[in-house]
Amino acid sequence: MMKLNYLLSTILIVAVGLSSQAGNEKKFDRTMERADAFYADFSYKKAIGLYEKALEYKDDQTPKLQLANCYRKLNQPDKALDWYKKALVDGPISKEDMLHYGQVLSTMQQYDSAHVVLNEYQHLEEWAGDRAEGFKHLDIFFHNEIAYIINESIFNSTEADFSPSFTEKGVMFVTGRPFKGMLKPRYDSDETYFLNLFEVMKGEAPRQLERGINTRFHEGPSILYSDFTKMIFTRNNYLSHRHGESKSGVMHLKLYLTELQDGEWTKPVEFPYNSDEYSIGHPTLSTDEQTLYFASDMPGGFGGVDLYKSRWVNGQWGQPENMGERFNTARDETFPYLSNDSFLYFASDGHEGLGGLDIFRVDMLRDNSYPRNMGFSMNTHKDDFGIVLDKNGNKGYFSSNREGGTGDDDIYELFIFDYIIKVNLRDAETKELISGKVESTDIYMNEIVRIDSTTISFPAIRGDVFHVKGMAPEYLPDSLVIETAEKSRDIRRLEYDIYLKKPIRHRATIYRIAINGRWEQVMYAIEDTLSIYAGTYDSLLSTLKEDRIAVDSVVDLQNVLFDFDKHDIRKDAGEELDKWVTFLNRYPDEHISLSAHTDIRGSNRYNERLAKRRVKSTAKYLMKAGISQERFVERDFGEEQLWENCAKENCSEAQHQNNRRTEILVKKN
């Protein structure tokens, strides 16, 4: 009986367990269905609660992945990463989810792991390879850190504040803060307040924009123009108290145009290329107001949100043009801003960066400029976007959700230490400007920044390094490296010169032949051809310089000196004669004269014989060294031609020494 009761109870327990399991399965399915509906409707916070409830009924990978995606959509990467890791414990996830996982890893600064994940799937998405490559050399994003001063703006709130633009007397920005009289509608995706446009003037509190612009839906980034009397702004698909949706039920963003009349904004009109099926937003204009730049996910792009432009032609906006792969990736490129028609700034999570959205800029004055990451500390591993700058191009605001801010997204004041660098091409001798080619290359970007003929000017921010090359016809090229890190932060204009030298046509050896303390003969040799120069040594140097002839060496050939009442060749005299032997061997066509002299001590007749012995000793030394006797003429003068013309009793020993000599000269043809 005991066994029977035990068997029956066991069967009952199993039956109850199976019944409970079946019930939980149904609850799981119903909960997932409701959660997925909220997710499809962008109500991520509501979806999160239901996905977590579904996990109470069943431990399954799908709700874990959806929780990761919800937190990713809500820009909470720490929680998203936690759920991706939990989902991966249950087994492989889709390639698309792996790409999202890699992006979240980078946002959490886990760059090594992000590189591994994204690099594995770069064959699927080109942007993944670009991001992975950037994580291999992160140091490049830090060389401009010294260029920025960044402070949080005092008008931020605990809600989202972002995308500032200049007004006539202050700043207009997008905010999620409530305002007086507001019905306080909330956005389903994260249950925050809908966004509106506020403006703030110096010394005053922020206030909502005039009635007629803000609605119960989202108002977003805007641009004022025509002396602040016209505006293009972003808004949900809502006009004249009616909202529109796509076929799938989504309220996309549109651009609207309005202008001030009698102090009030007129009824907005739609940008002609708006659509219920895709978004257009984030406007910026060229200085002449003839080109409108914006962001859109319209069909035909590179993926995600792309940058577009439209031109004002014959009184209307032209068909939007995609800005092309130079700017756009398969990810998102948003929040464009054109600064003085020179730089187009925008935010992207598709180009090489530090994590989330980073701010990039492209030099619009050259076709070879590609997006340059503005680096830390303008960019962080969080989202950085929505920049605007003043007319000088170095002071303004941008938006970020970086740590330490007051709210979700916050607005930050920005100052950029920047320079205009000027480089001139000059002749090294005359210092005059010359025409040729000057080329500047950004070392970090590996891009040619500017090319011109005589002088180039190009922009830089502190920390940049440039290699500037100069070249010109009939000149040797030269270059310089400009490192801006150590330049003064108070000087915006830096000027340099590249001095080009004309090439050396030949190289010469100069022979200076000293007679009686003066260089009586100056000769020079070029490629073994010897020339006698009829001028001074200084004038010879000047002539060679004008002819672009470089002096390799100078050889001094001097008198041969003798001891008192001696005619033998002393050591120093032998060294001097060895120089002459070298000279005569190198130039076999040259002939010399030997002229021997004595001091005034002794009789004339004795000195004549002494001089003859001295010239013979000199000749004998040369012949013994292999110099033919036919190549020199011997002459002896005794005391007839004194170098030091002094009375016998008043001559110093040094003066007597100068007179005891054999002079050697090259014979002129």
- Give the pLDDT score at 242: 59
Q: For the segment 247-270, what is each residue's pLDDT rounded down to a tens digit?
A: 777 888 999 999 999 888 999 999
DSSP conformation letters of 547-616: TTEEEEEEEEE-PEE--TT--S--HHHHHHHHHHHHHHHH-TT--EEEEEE--SSS-HHHHHHHHHHHHH
pLDDT of 669 higher than 80: no
Average pLDDT of span 300-322: 96
Quote helix, strand, coil % in the chain, to nearest 5: 25, 35, 40
Where is pLDDT greater, at 646 or 77?
Answer: 77
Distances (CA, A) of 287 to 167, 284, 292, 338: 15, 10, 10, 8
Q: Which residues of 57-89 are buried (b: 16+ CB within 10 A; e: fewer)?
A: bbeeebbbbbbbbbbbebbbbebbbbbbebbbe
Mean pLDDT, the chain, integer: 88
Q: Where are the alpha helices (DSSP H) in 243-375?
A: none
**In this structure, are residues 23 and 56 in contact, taking their beta carbons and an 8 Å threshold?**
no
Q: Which of 108-122, 332-346, 491-505, 598-612 has the lowest mean pLDDT?
A: 598-612
Average pLDDT of span 274-302: 96
**Angle of helix 95-107 relative to helix 111-120, nearest 10 degrees?**
160
Q: In angstroms, rounded to a whole number, what is the distance separating the alpha carbons of residues 246 and 155?
A: 36
Residue of 332, 325, 339 whose CA lies nearest to 383: 332
Average pLDDT of span 370-381: 96
Q: What are the sequence ranges of the domains in the chain?
A: 29-142, 145-416, 419-500, 504-557, 559-669
Q: Which of 204-218, 322-336, 412-426, 471-485 has the lowest mean pLDDT?
A: 204-218
Q: Count the Cβ atoms, other than its own, within 10 Å of residue 123.
A: 10
Q: In angstroms, rounded to a whole number, what is the distance separating the alpha carbons of residues 132 and 109?
A: 13
- Per-residue pLDDT band for 246 (boundaries 50, 70, 90) equals low
- Give the pLDDT score at 478: 96
- Give the pLDDT score at 169: 92
- Give the pLDDT score at 42: 78
Q: In angstroms, rounded to a whole number, what is the distance separating the alpha carbons of residues 386 and 409?
A: 11
pLDDT of 521 higher than 70: yes
Q: In angstroms, rounded to a whole number, what is the distance separating the alpha carbons of residues 218 and 209?
A: 13
- Per-residue pLDDT band for 192 (boundaries 50, 70, 90) equals low
Most confident stretch, 158-172, 175-189, 630-644: 158-172
Which CATH number does 29-142 carry?
Answer: 1.25.40.10
pLDDT of 517 higher than 80: no
**In this structure, are residues 80 and 54 in contact, taking their beta carbons and an 8 Å threshold?**
no
**In this structure, are residues 453 and 493 in contact, taking their beta carbons and an 8 Å threshold?**
no
- Give the pLDDT score at 11: 41
Which residues lie below 8 Å from residue 88, measured CB to CB, with a gap of 6+? 101
Average pLDDT of span 351-355: 92
- Give the pLDDT score at 18: 47
559-669: CATH architecture: 2-Layer Sandwich (3.30)
Query: What strands lie across the sheet with 161-166, from one edge to the other?
Result: 161-166, 170-175, 196-201, 207-208
pLDDT of 603 higher than 80: no
Q: For the segment 437-465, what is each residue's pLDDT rounded down to a tens digit?
A: 999 999 999 999 999 999 999 999 999 99
- Give the pLDDT score at 2: 40
pLDDT of 9 higher than 60: no
- Give the pLDDT score at 180: 61
- Give the pLDDT score at 340: 94
Q: Which of 5-19, 183-197, 332-346, 454-468 has the lowest mean pLDDT?
A: 5-19
- Give the pLDDT score at 8: 38
- Give the pLDDT score at 605: 83
Which CATH number does 419-500 carry?
Answer: 2.60.40.1120
- Per-residue pLDDT band for 14 (boundaries 50, 70, 90) equals very low
Percent of the chain with pLDDT over 90: 60
pTM of the model: 0.75
Long-range contacts of 138-141 (CB under 8 A, 24+ apart): 138/111, 138/354, 140/373, 140/375, 140/444, 141/353, 141/354, 141/373, 141/375, 141/376, 141/379
Where is pLDDT greater, at 527 or 403?
Answer: 403
Most confident stretch, 212-221, 366-375, 515-524, 560-569: 366-375
Most confident stretch, 38-47, 121-130, 354-363: 354-363
Percent of the chain with pLDDT over 70: 93
pLDDT of 514 higher than 90: no
- Fold held by 145-416: Neuraminidase (2.120.10)
- Give the pLDDT score at 570: 87
Distances (CA, A) of 351 to 133, 224, 355, 441, 442: 10, 29, 10, 21, 18
- Give the pLDDT score at 13: 44
Where is pLDDT greater, at 634 or 563?
Answer: 634
Average pLDDT of span 342-370: 95
